[in-house]
Amino acid sequence: MNVAGKKALVFGGTSGIGLAAAKQLKDLGAHVIAISRDPGKAGDIPDGIELKACDVLDREALQNLFEECAPYDILISAATGGARAIGPFLDMDMDGYQASFAKLWGYANVVRYGAGHLPDDGTIVLVSGAPARKTRPGQVAIGSVGGAVEALVRAIAGELAPRRINLVSPGQIDTPMVALQGDERKAFYRKTTEGNIIPRPGTAEEVAMGIIFMVQNDFVTGTTIDVDGGWLLS
């Protein structure tokens, strides 16, 4: 796909990985609409990226948004859907575990209601996470949700054809989702990446490069690409 002149919708596009993807698409010449629950909390949004508000868990609002923005060519979702439970499963609050699946429901809603407005050469990219295939202690909820997202992509790739759908799976990435600052932030990332082959957190821009690859490569569908610093091999 030649991105220049295409229209791209990026859910979760006002911070972190979503914002990095929106910026890279814009730099390639796409008309980008960045969507989040509260665009008023957006990060550094360059001129030329349009902002819209929508909650991926609000199906009626999503359908209205898609109808308003159609037609479009590229559909990306990096929206988390809400909080994620962490800690040992046998000690876990089950309401928190269930709530972690808001990410799956958000992705499912985006694909269900957004795919119908894509042209035959349109493409969808979702963002999962390395714990889906190598779950570390305390990541049962995150791993479960990520595994469900990966299964969703594989299951519906055939249904969506000739439109494509793919998944990018990041490892530990330095984004605003981690609220720690200063030395505490550095210590957190040092501890959580010290066992990786590449012992540092990735950047949102590095993950976005994987998203752009999935958008541009017309011979890839139903596939997961890992941008994880060697997480799966460590």
pLDDT at 33 over 90: yes
The SS3 assignment for 5 reads coil
Looking at residue 179, its pLDDT comes to 75
User: Which two structure tokens, joined as six digits, stand for 13?
Assistant: 């596009």
* Cβ-contact 146, 129 below 8 angstroms: yes
Residues ≥6 apart with Cβ < 8 Å to 8: 22, 25, 30, 31, 32, 33, 72, 73, 74, 75, 76, 215
pLDDT at 176 over 80: no
3-state secondary structure 84-114: CCCCCHHHCCHHHHHHCCHHHHHHHHHHHHH
Q: Which amino acid is at 137?
A: P
Domain topology for 7-177+203-228:
Rossmann fold (3.40.50)
Q: In which band, very low, low, confident or very high, does the pLDDT at 138 lie, cut at 50, 70 and 90?
A: very high
Domain ranges of the chain: 7-177+203-228
Q: Is cis: bond before 162, omega within 30 of 0?
A: yes
Looking at residue 167, its pLDDT comes to 97
Q: In which band, very low, low, confident or very high, does the pLDDT at 122 lie, cut at 50, 70 and 90?
A: very high
Q: In which band, very low, low, confident or very high, does the pLDDT at 38 lie, cut at 50, 70 and 90?
A: confident
Looking at residue 10, its pLDDT comes to 98
Q: Any idea which of 127-131, 145-149, 188-192 has the lowest mean pLDDT?
A: 188-192
